[in-house]
């Protein structure tokens, strides 16, 4: 089929032909076409089969709103054919067909419609047995469910994200949006104008008005310096504080605007009559879009249902495009417009449309008229989605039969037809007023809008005796379905929706909300305003998960020493977001790990602890603040000392532990566990927001690195460093901290440890971590200093019975259950969790963490998480298990009933293999219980 000549076909380039296939047949289209326009130009109107009845469906709105136009493009399902630009070589198929589009075997469902009334699936598919749903019916229904087919082999594509800030965001690039944006920009504001179409102009780009220069309007916007214009960009969400989600192809733009002007226009509504879903029935705007944008003549012989002035404009357009308009049907008693020359006006409503896979006739005044195109123009609703997302309520103007939007947000303003303005002069004035509101200027009064009263036709919605008068095309719902839902007691609109599924399809009620509200209002004796619409939710238009997810990005953190570990042959493993050395070297992993343990116990080892959380707490109240946050006393902690920190929740459950090194009267360097530092920092700021103390907390985790040098020869290693710190036994006692330098590198040194051996921990700025590591490794060379990994560290700590927060504790563990009474100050008047801890103490302790040991040759050794039972009731579980190479036995920590926690008591544990073993409990320190090796 040839295309219409200029001025039609503004979007297509007829010099560039694109070839594609649809349902196995090859077609040609032009650059600038959408899939649907190219197919329409080839007289292929049917695009899909409907969800439930498998009725033929095709283009209706050309605005990408309904399920009718969803097609499969290669492995991508549910592609809106009327929005998606055609590409050369596209392979397109129809969705939801059994067989092929033209001959869909499931079309028989249409014949059985009366057996499938609204909500029928709630009434049946329950027998013959209780499992029938899962075994028989659901598999059958799942076969029929859904539309397109996803290709699970689709490779990951590139998606991008960016952020944008502006004073004023104007959504909608029609006349109202252009004028509002230009006027706001002229007042000096930083304005962004956003439109989902490729060109500015809105409806003027396809529905020209004789007295408006569409081109000049667009030029005015383009020429306005300082006005940023984003076309082909849909605003899909208006979130709290004017946080906008804008989708531009494969890019998500998050925008923050101080003020928002919504000029989102209106949505043309279909008419409801029997057969209103046949391909070849187009909304007036759809016919105009096809002609003006794509140069497609929408039919040969047309009937126009014109119940408003726009319908007459469309009729004139059709004639200009060479369509034979055989009649105009106008259901209104008076106020008819001027028809094209020679076209008769038949006063009456379309009673029925007939045809097999395409419209072939319409019935008006009880007579059939032959045609291959029916263009429908009965009215519109304001595009309520974005205003309602922002909290607007909908009213209904009984005089003009349309929804009205009430939005009380001082930063969001409506302009144009979304605010109910129809006449061009009023539209422009409303845009100017919106710009004034957004820029703080005084707006002028709006002129009267004589065109408003006639723009919408209130169609009586009476069910056709034979049905097939569709209100919701996506969900195949007819007038009677909604009436029957109300009869069943689903009288509230949200219940009508949930029971009938009206508005739940891809169009999200764009074409059904108004008719639904009118039907439900009529059936329940309420006004349309009382019914309204269901909650508007983002996204406004379809958006892919890919564009929301952005580029493939997994949070990954590496210590500054990462390459050192790799060079030393470390096997790196993820621990939360961090990658940490698990062990060093290759070979038998168990013996490598045991060698690392032995190195620490017998000589000296080094562990990268850079992943530890690090916080700087500073200010006159720093000590008092930590007194409240942690259980031990920090206010009286002398400068230069390091103290253990234990953090409790308000339920006295252990949240975290670490150490606090007092650098100065008003400065602490505090560590937190790797996984919990975010939570600890958040809690500290949360509490201080309430306490208002003179203190400041900074999370400096990424800024510092640290490593722990541990083992009998640790002092030899640090003493060999070129440093101003006195590392001698007398000069640097246990739990002391020193600030100094190693060479020129500033360090914090602390005598703390997790392994039970003499340990020094050195922390320095991350930027100098490699130099410090090199210095320490060089100093340790003569003493056999050996790096060790995470697994050895876990064994070393378990041999000492040191707990790991999160592994040996759960969300309710109290300090007493661990025997940590020593870590809780008895003198402080307050710390978070103190009150709960005292209450829990009064109520008595139910479980206690104890040690367990198993000979190396034991037959059954419980795994971690195995249950500890008492009278066959779980009273605790095993939290940590490992073979201890130092003590040559398997050691474990477990919760047992508090009554059974004394050394020598017996715990019953069910192993993974199901066998229950009885094992004596011990104290939970398996090595050097008197801490002699630490040199305290």
Nearest approach in angstroms of CB 808 to other proteins is 11
Instruction: Tell which positions 2-41 bind other proteins, by CB under 8 A.
Output: none
Q: Which of 336, 458, 491, 641 binds other proteins (CB under 8 A)?
A: 491
Distance CA 641, CA 353 (A): 89
Length of the chain: 936
Closer of 74 and 639 to other proteins (Cβ): 74
Contact 360, 282 (CB under 8 A): no
Site string for other proteins, 246-275 (x = CB under 8 A): ------x-x---------------------
Residue 652 sits at φ, ψ, to 5 deg, of: 65, 30
Residues 405 and 384 sit within 8 Å (Cβ to Cβ): yes
Q: Which is nearer to other proteins, 309 or 539 (CB)?
A: 539
Verify binding: residue 877, other proteins, rule CB under 8 A: yes
CB 610 within 8 A of CB 705: yes
Within 10 A of 757 (CB to CB), how many other CB atoms are there? 25
Our finding on whether 462 is near other proteins (CB under 8 A) is no
Q: Note whether 549 binds other proteins by CB under 8 A.
A: yes
Q: Which of 898, 919, 902, 901 is nearest to 910 (CA)?
A: 919
Q: Which is nearer to other proteins, 68 or 768 (CB)?
A: 68
By CB under 8 A, name the one of 25, 103, 123, 408 that touches other proteins: 123
Q: Is the peptide bond before 539 cis (omega within 30 degrees of 0)?
A: yes
Q: Is 575 in the site for other proteins (CB under 8 A)?
A: yes
Q: Where are the beta strands (DSSP E) in 207-337?
A: 227-230, 234-239, 243-248, 251-262, 266-268, 281-283, 301-306, 324-330
Kindly state whether residue 142 participates in binding other proteins, applying the rule CB under 8 A: yes
Burial of 670 (0-12, 13-18, 19+ CB in 10 A): buried
| Given 208, 340, 395, 542, the residue binding other proteins (CB under 8 A) | 542
Q: Could you write out the DSSP letters of every residue in 587-615?
A: S-HHHHHHHHHHHHHHS-EEEE-TTSEEE
CB 176 to other proteins: min, Å: 26
Task: Between 508 and 884, name the residue whose CB sits nearer to other proteins.
Answer: 508
Q: Which one of the spans 538-546, 561-569, 606-614, 630-638 is the region binding other proteins (CB under 8 A)? A: 538-546
User: Do 915 and 861 meet the contact criterion of CB atoms below 8 Å apart?
Assistant: no
Rg over alpha carbons for the chain, rounded to the nearest Å, is 37
Q: Is 520 in the site for other proteins (CB under 8 A)?
A: no
Contact between 337 and other proteins per CB under 8 A: no
How far lies 812's CA from each of 608, 653, 802, 881, in Å? 30, 5, 18, 21
Whether residue 282 contacts residue 372, with contact meaning beta carbons closer than 8 Å, is answered with: no
Collapsed DSSP state (helix, strand, coil) of residue 584? strand
Q: Is the peptide bond before 704 cis (omega within 30 degrees of 0)?
A: no
Cis omega (within 30 of 0) on the bond before 7? Answer: yes
538 binds other proteins (CB under 8 A): yes
Among 16, 17, 43, 121, binds other proteins (CB under 8 A): 121
C-alpha span between 584 and 658 (Å, rounded):
26
Segment lying near other proteins (by CB under 8 A), choices 152-160, 359-367, 511-519, 705-713? 152-160
Distance CA 933, CA 753 (A): 11
Q: Does 473 bind other proteins (CB under 8 A)?
A: no
Is residue 525 a contact point for other proteins (CB under 8 A)? Answer: no
Q: How far apart are CA 407 and CA 16, in angstroms?
A: 46
- Closest to other proteins by CB, 159 vs 773, is 159
If one asks whether residue 544 binds other proteins (CB under 8 A), the answer comes out as yes
DSSP-H helix ranges across 811-880: 834-843
The least distance separating other proteins from the CB of residue 824, rounded to whole angstroms, comes to 16
Alpha carbon 622 to its chain centroid, in Å, reads 39
* Binding to other proteins in span 373-432, by CB under 8 A: 389, 391
Residue 357 binds other proteins (CB under 8 A): no
Residue 295 engages other proteins in binding (rule: CB under 8 A) = no
Judged by beta carbon, residue 580 or residue 738, the one nearer other proteins is 580
Minimum distance from CB of 612 to other proteins (Å)?
A: 17
Q: Which CB sits closer to other proteins, 214 or 910?
A: 910
- Between 1 and 873, whose beta carbon lies closer to other proteins? 873
Q: Which of 70, 282, 291, 318 binds other proteins (CB under 8 A)?
A: 70
Residues between 153 and 172 with contacts to other proteins, criterion CB under 8 A: 153-157, 159
Site membership for other proteins, residue 689 (CB under 8 A): no
Tokens representing 663 are 């650098």
Give the shortest CB-75-to-other proteins separation in angstroms. Answer: 8
**Spacing of C-alpha 36 from chain mean position:** 30
Task: Give the x/- contact pattern for other proteins in 904-933, rule: CB under 8 A.
Answer: ------x-x---------------------
| Selected range binding other proteins among 53-61, 84-92, 530-538, 896-904, rule: CB under 8 A | 530-538
Binding part of the chain for other proteins, among 191-199, 312-320, 494-502, 691-699 by CB under 8 A, reads 494-502
Contact flag: residue 550 with other proteins (CB under 8 A): yes
One of 91, 102, 108, 150 touching other proteins (CB under 8 A): 150
Half-sphere exposure at residue 690, Cβ-oriented, CA atoms within 13 angstroms? 8
883 touching other proteins, by CB under 8 A = no
Instruction: List binders of other proteins among 702-761 (CB under 8 A).
Output: none
Of 622-681, binders to other proteins (CB under 8 A) are 650-651
Chain mean position to CA 46: 34
What tokens appear for 35 in the block? 């899939």
Q: Using CB under 8 A, which of 216, 554, 567, 689 touches other proteins?
A: 554
| CA-wise closest residue to 47 among 64, 142, 513 | 64
x-marked contacts with other proteins along 101-120 as a string, rule CB under 8 A = -----------x-xxxx--x
Instruction: Kindly indicate which of the ranges 82-90, 210-218, 498-506, 742-750 contains the residues binding other proteins, using the contact rule CB under 8 A.
Output: 498-506
**DSSP conformation class of 536:** P
Q: Nearest approach, Cβ of 614 to other proteins (angstroms)?
A: 22
Q: Walk across the sheet containing 367-370 and list its strands.
A: 350-355, 359-364, 367-370
Stretch in the footprint of other proteins (CB under 8 A) among 237-245, 269-277, 400-408, 421-429: 237-245
What's phi and psi for 149, nearest 5 deg? Answer: -120, 130
Return the number of the residue (492 or 602) whose C-beta is nearest other proteins: 492
Residue closer to other proteins (CB basis): 24 or 874: 874
Is residue 148 part of the contact set for other proteins (CB under 8 A)?
Answer: yes
**Interface pick for other proteins out of 24, 188, 447, 576 (rule CB under 8 A):** 576
Choices 218-226, 232-240, 288-296, 823-831 (CB under 8 A): range interacting with other proteins: 232-240
User: Does 484 help bind other proteins (rule: CB under 8 A)?
Assistant: yes
85, 149, 526, 770: which one contacts other proteins (CB under 8 A)? 149
Strand 373-377 relative to strand 91-93, pairing: unpaired
CB of 814 to other proteins, least distance (A): 9
Both tokens assigned to 397: 């103007």
φ/ψ (deg, to 5) at 862: -70, 150
| Phi, psi dihedral angles at 56 (to 5 degrees) | -65, 135
Nearer to other proteins, 548 or 568 (CB): 548
In whole angstroms, the minimum distance from the beta carbon of 388 to other proteins comes to 11
Site for other proteins in 773-832 (CB under 8 A): 806-807, 810-812
Q: Does 546 bind other proteins (CB under 8 A)?
A: yes
- Max CA separation in the chain (angstroms): 113
Kindly give, in sequence order, each residue whose CB lies less than 8 Å from that of residue 729, ignoring residues fewer than 6 positions away.
Answer: 715, 935
Cβ proximity of 831 and 645 under 8 Å? no
């Amino acid at each position: 089929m040839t295309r219409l000549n200029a001025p039609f076909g503004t979007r297509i380039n007829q010099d560039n032909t694109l070839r594609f296939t649809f349902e196995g047949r090859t077609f040609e289209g032009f650059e600038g076409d959408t899939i649907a326009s190219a197919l329409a130009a080839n007289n292929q109107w049917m695009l899909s089969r409907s969800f439930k009845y498998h009725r033929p469906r095709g283009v209706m709105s050309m605005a990408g709103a309904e399920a009718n136009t969803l097609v499969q493009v290669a492995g991508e399902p549910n592609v809106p054919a009327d929005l998606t630009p055609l590409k050369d070589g596209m392979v397109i198929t129809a969705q939801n067909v059994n067989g092929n589009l033209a001959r869909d075997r499931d079309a028989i469902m249409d014949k059985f419609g009366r057996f499938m009334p609204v909500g029928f699936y709630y009434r049946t598919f329950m027998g013959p047995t209780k499992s029938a749903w899962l075994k028989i019916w659901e598999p059958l229904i799942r076969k029929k469910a859904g539309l397109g087919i996803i290709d699970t082999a689709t490779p990951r594509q590139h998606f991008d994200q960016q952020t944008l800030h502006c004073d004023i965001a104007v959504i909608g690039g029609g006349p109202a949006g252009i004028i509002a944006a230009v006027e706001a920009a002229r007042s000096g504001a930083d304005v962004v104008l956003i439109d989902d179409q490729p060109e500015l102009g809105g409806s003027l780009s396809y529905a020209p008005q004789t007295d408006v220069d569409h081109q000049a309007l667009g030029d005015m916007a383009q020429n306005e310096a300082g006005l940023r214009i984003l076309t082909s960009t849909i605003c899909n969400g208006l979130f709290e504080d004017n946080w906008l989600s804008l989708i531009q192809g494969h890019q998500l733009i998050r925008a923050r605007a101080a003020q928002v002007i919504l000029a989102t226009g209106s949505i043309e509504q279909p008419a409801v009559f029997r057969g209103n879903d046949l391909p070849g029935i187009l909304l007036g705007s759809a016919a105009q879009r096809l002609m003006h944008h794509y140069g497609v003549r929408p039919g040969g012989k047309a009937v126009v249902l014109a119940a408003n002035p726009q319908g007459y404009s469309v009729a004139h357009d059709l004639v200009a495009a060479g369509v034979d308009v055989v009649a105009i049907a106008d259901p209104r008693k008076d106020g008819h417009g001027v028809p094209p020359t020679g076209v008769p006006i038949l006063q009456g409503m379309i009673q029925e449309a007939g045809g097999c896979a395409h419209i072939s006739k319409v019935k008006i005044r009880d007579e059939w008229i032959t045609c291959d195109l029916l263009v429908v123009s009965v009215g519109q609703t304001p595009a309520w989605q974005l205003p309602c997302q922002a909290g607007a309520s909908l009213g209904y103007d009984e005089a003009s039969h349309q929804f009205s939007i009430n939005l009380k947000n001082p930063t969001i303003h409506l302009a144009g037809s979304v605010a109910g303005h129809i006449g061009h002069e009023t539209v422009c004035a409303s845009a100017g007023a919106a710009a004034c509101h957004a820029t703080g200027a005084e707006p002028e009064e709006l002129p009267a809008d004589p065109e408003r009263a006639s723009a919408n036709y209130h169609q009586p919605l009476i069910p056709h005796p034979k049905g097939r008068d569709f209100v919701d095309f996506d969900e195949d719902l007819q007038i009677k379905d909604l009436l029957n839902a109300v009869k069943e007691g689903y009288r509230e609109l949200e219940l009508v929706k949930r029971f009938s599924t009206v508005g739940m399809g891809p169009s999200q009620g764009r074409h059904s909300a108004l008719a639904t509200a009118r039907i439900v209002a009529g059936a329940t004796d309420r006004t349309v305003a009382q019914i309204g619409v269901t909650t508007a939710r983002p996204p406004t238009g379809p958006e892919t998960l890919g564009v929301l997810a952005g580029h493939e990005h997994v949070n990954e953190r590496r210590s500054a020493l990462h390459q050192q570990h790799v060079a030393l042959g470390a096997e790196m493993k993820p621990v939360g977001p961090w990658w940490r050395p698990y062990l060093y070297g290759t070979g038998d992993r168990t013996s490598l790990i045991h060698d690392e343990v032995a190195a620490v116990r017998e000589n000296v080892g080094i562990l990268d602890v850079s992943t530890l959380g690090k916080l700087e707490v500073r200010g006159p109240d720093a000590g008092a603040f930590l007194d409240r946050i942690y259980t031990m006393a920090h206010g009286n902690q002398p400068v230069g000392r390091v103290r253990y920190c234990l953090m409790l929740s308000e339920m006295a459950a252990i949240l975290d532990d670490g150490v606090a090194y007092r650098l100065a009267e008003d400065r602490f360097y505090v560590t937190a566990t790797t996984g919990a530092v975010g939570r600890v920092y958040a809690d500290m700021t949360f509490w201080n927001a309430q306490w208002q103390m003179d203190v400041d907390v900074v999370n400096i985790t990424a800024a510092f690195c640290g490593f722990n040098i541990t083992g009998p020869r640790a002092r030899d290693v640090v003493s060999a460093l070129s440093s101003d710190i006195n590392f001698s036994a007398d000069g640097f006692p246990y739990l002391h901290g020193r600030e100094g330098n190693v060479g020129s590198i500033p360090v914090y040194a602390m005598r703390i440890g997790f392994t039970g051996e003499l340990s020094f921990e050195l922390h320095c700025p991350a930027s100098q971590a490699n130099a410090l590591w090199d210095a320490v490794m060089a100093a340790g060379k003569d003493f056999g200093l050996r790096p060790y990994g995470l697994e050895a560290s876990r064994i070393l700590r378990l041999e000492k019975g040191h707990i790991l927060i999160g592994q040996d504790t759960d969300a309710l563990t109290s300090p007493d259950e661990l025997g940590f009474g020593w870590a809780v100050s008895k003198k402080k008047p307050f710390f978070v969790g103190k009150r709960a801890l005292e209450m829990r103490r009064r109520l008595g302790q139910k479980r206690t963490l104890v040690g367990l040991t198993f000979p190396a040759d034991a037959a059954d050794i419980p795994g971690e998480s195995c249950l500890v039972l008492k009278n066959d009731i779980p009273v605790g579980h095993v939290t940590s298990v490992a073979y201890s190479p130092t003590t040559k036995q398997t050691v474990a920590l477990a919760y047992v009933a508090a009554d059974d926690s004394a050394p020598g008591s017996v715990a019953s544990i069910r192993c993974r293999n199901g066998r229950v073993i009885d094992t004596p409990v011990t104290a939970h320190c398996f090595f050097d219980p008197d801490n002699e090796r630490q040199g305290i």
